[in-house]
Structure 1
Amino acid sequence: MSYQVFARKYRPKTFADVLGQDHVVRTLSNAIAQNRLAHAYLFVGPRGTGKTSTARILAKALNCTGGPKIDFDPDEDICQEIAEGRSLDVLEIDGASNNGVEQVRDLRESVRFSPARGQFKIYYIDEVHMLSNAAFNALLKTLEEPPPHVKFIFATTEANKILPTIISRCQRFDLRPIPTETIAAHLQHIAAEEGITLEATAAWAIAKGADGGMRDAQSMLDQLVAFCGETITEANVLDIFGFTSREKVAQLTGCLLSRETPAALSLIQKEAETGRELSQLLGELIGCLRALLVAKLDPTADGEGIPADLWNALLEAADEYPPDRILAAIDVFAETEGRMKWATNKRLHFELGVIKSIQTLGEVRITDVIKVLTRGADFIPVPEPRPVQTEQTPPSAPASTAAPEEPAPVEATTSETPTDAPPATPEPEPEPESAAPAPPATIVVESEPKRSKPIGGAIGALDSLIAAAPEESEPPAAPEPAPWEEPKKAAEPEPAPAAAPIDDAFHQDPLIQSALEKFEGKILR
Structure 2
Amino acid sequence: MENFVVSARKYRPATFRSVVGQQHVTTTLQNAIVSQHLAQAFLFCGPRGVGKTTCARILAKTINCEFVEEHVRKGRPVSELLRTQPDIVPDALQQAADPDNTPFELEACGKCSSCRAFQENASFNVHELDAASNNSVEDIRSLVEQVRYAPQQGRFKVYIIDEVHMLSNAAFNAFLKTLEEPPSYAIFILATTERHKIIPTILSRCQIFDFNRIRVDDIRGHLRYVATQEHIQAEDDALHLLAQKADGGLRDALSMFDQMVTFSGHDLRYKDVVQNLHILDYEYYFRLVDALLAENLSGTLLLLEEVMQNGFDLHNFVVGAAEHLRGLLVCKDPVTVQLLEVSDNIRSRYVQQAQAAPLAFLLSALNLVSQCDREFKQAKNQRLHVELMLMKLAYLNGAVQFARDLGAGPAANGTAQASSGNDEAKKKSSVTPPATPAPSLAPVSNRIETAAPHAKAPENTPPAPVPPPAGPPAVALTVVSGPADPEPIVPIESGVEELHDTPSIEDEAATQVPATPQLRDSVPHVEIGTPSVAGHEPGQVPVTAAPLPPPRPGMPTGKPLGLGTKLPGLGSLSAMKAQLEQQAAAGKTTTEAEPAGPVTGLPAVNDEVLQRVWAELIEERKAISMSQYSLLNRPVQANAQHVIVLRVDNPVQEDQFNEFRADFLGELRRRTGYPRINVQVEVVERVDTGRKLYTSSDKLEYLMEKYPMLTAMKQKLGLDADF
TM-score (norm 1): 0.68
Question: How far off is 1:248 after superposition?
Answer: 2.5
Matched, 1:252 2:288: yes
SS of the residue corresponding to residue 467 of structure 2 reads helix
Q: How does 1:327-406 map to 2 (within 5 A)?
A: 328-329=367-368, 331-332=370-371, 334-335=373-374, 339=377, 351=387, 381-383=436-438, 389-390=466-467, 403=497
Residue type of the alignment partner of 2:43: L
| Structure 1 residue 29 displacement after superposition | 1.3
Residues 279 and 96 of structure 1, relative CA distance in 2, 3 Å threshold: farther
Residues 45, 194 of structure 2: 8 Å contact kept: yes
Q: Please give the alpha-carbon distance, in whole angstroms, between the structure 2 residues aligned to 1:112 and 1:374.
A: 88
Match of 1:30 in 2: 31
Structure 1 residues 380 and 231, CA, compared in 2 at 3 Å: closer, same or farther? same
The one-letter amino acid paired with 1:328 is: N
| 1:202/1:279 CA distance change after superposition, 3 Å | farther
Aligned to 2:28, what secondary structure does the other structure show? helix
Q: After TM superposition, give the deviation of residue 272 of structure 1 in Å.
A: 2.9
The 1-side partners of 2:592 and 2:381 are apart by: 76
CA contact (8 A) 1:24 1:173 kept: yes
Distance, in Å, in 2 between the alignment partners of 1:75 and 1:281 is: 53
In structure 1, the partner of 2:11 is 10
Is the CA contact 2:242–2:253 (under 8 Å) kept in the aligned structure 1? yes
Distance 1:82 1:210 in 2: 30
Q: Are 1:253 and 1:288, in contact at CA under 8 Å, matched by a contact in 2?
A: no
The 2-side partners of 1:11 and 1:57 are apart by 11
Q: Distance in 1 between matches of 2:206 and 2:408?
A: 59
Summarize the Cα distance change of 1:276–1:374 in structure 2 as closer, same or farther, 3 Å threshold.
same
Deviation at 1:267, TM superposition (A): 2.3
> 2-side partners of 1:228 and 1:40: how far apart?
45
Three-state SS of the structure 1 residue aligned to 2:66 is: coil
Mapping of residues 61-460 of structure 1, within 5 Å: 61-67=62-68, 70-74=106-110, 76-255=112-291, 261-276=297-312, 281-295=317-331, 299-302=335-338, 303-305=340-342, 307-321=346-360, 325=364, 328-329=367-368, 331-332=370-371, 334-335=373-374, 339=377, 351=387, 381-383=436-438, 389-390=466-467, 403=497, 424=529, 426-427=531-532, 428-429=536-537
Q: Deviations over 1:27-80 (max 9, x none)?
A: 111111111111111111111111111111111111111335622123544334
Could you tell me how far 1:288 is from its partner in structure 2? 2.7
SS in 1 for 2:170: helix
SS of 2:109's equivalent in the other structure is coil
Structure 1: distance between partners of 2:469 and 2:203: 84
SS at match of 1:205: helix
SS at match of 1:67: helix
CA contact (8 A) 2:130 2:163 kept: yes
- The Cα of 1:290 is off from its aligned counterpart by 3.0
Query: How many pairs align?
Result: 422
What is aligned with 1:523? none
> Does the Cα contact within 8 Å between 1:254 and 1:317 map onto a contact in 2?
no
Q: What residue is the counterpart of 2:548 in the other structure?
A: none
* Structure 2 match to 1:491: none
What are the superposed Cα offsets for residues 311-341 of structure 1, whole Å, 9 maximum, x if unpaired? 123322443318864663463255268x39x
Rounded to whole Å, the distance in 2 between the matches of 1:82 and 1:281 is: 48
Correspondence 1:494-505 to 2 at 5 A: none
Classify the secondary structure of the residue corresponding to 2:205: coil
Q: Which moved more, 1:315-324 or 1:13-22?
A: 315-324
Matched letter for residue 114 of structure 2: I
Larger relative helix fraction: 1
- Cα gap change, 1:299/1:152 in structure 2, threshold over 3 Å: closer, same or farther? same
Give 1:439's aligned residue. none
Give percent identity, aligned residues only. 38
Matched position secondary structure for 2:155: coil
Deviations 1:425-476 (A, max 9, x none): 644436889xxxxxxxxxxxx9989999999xxxxxxxxxxxxxxxxxxxxx
Query: Is this contact kept in 2: 1:293–1:323, CA < 8 A?
Result: yes
How has the CA–CA distance of structure 1 residues 452 and 191 changed in structure 2, closer, same or farther, with 3 Å as cutoff?
closer
Q: Which SS does the other structure have where 1:92 is aligned?
A: strand
Within 1, Cα distance between the matches of 2:245 and 2:361? 30
Secondary structure at the aligned position of 1:73 is classed as coil
CA distance in 1, matches of 2:10, 2:380: 39
Distance 1:62 1:432, change over 3 A: closer
1:179-217 Cα offsets, whole Å, 9 max, x none, are 111111211211111111111111111111111111111
Structure 1 residue 250, shift from structure 2 partner: 3.0
Q: Distance in 2 between matches of 1:326 and 1:452?
A: 47
In 2 relative to 1, CA 346–148 (structure 1 residues): closer, same or farther, beyond 3 Å? farther
- Aligned partner letter, 1:321: A
1:304: Cα distance to partner?
Answer: 2.9
Describe the shift of the 1:278–1:167 C-alpha distance in structure 2 as closer, same or farther (beyond 3 A): farther
SS where residue 136 of structure 1 aligns?
A: helix
Deviation at 1:381, TM superposition (A): 3.3
Which residue identity lines up with residue 48 of structure 2 in the other structure?
A: R
Deviations for 1:255-314, whole angstroms, at most 9, x for unmatched residues? 556665543443232133223465655544333333344445773333331624421233
Q: 1:147 to 1:229 in 2, by over 3 A?
A: same
Q: 1:323 to 1:241 in 2, by over 3 A?
A: closer
Give the root-mean-square deviation of aligned CA atoms.
Answer: 4.3
- What TM-score do you get using the length of structure 2 for normalisation? 0.51
1:137–1:392 Cα change, 3 Å: closer
Contact map agreement 1:202 1:237 (CA 8 A) in 2: yes
Change (3 A) 1:400 1:167: closer
Alignment gaps of 5+ in structure 2: 73-105, 415-432, 442-463, 471-491, 500-522, 542-579, 596-723
Output the CA distance in 2 between the equivalents of 1:372 and 1:334: 33
Counterpart CA distance in 2 for 1:158 and 1:375 is 60
Query: What's the CA shift for 1:4?
Result: 1.2
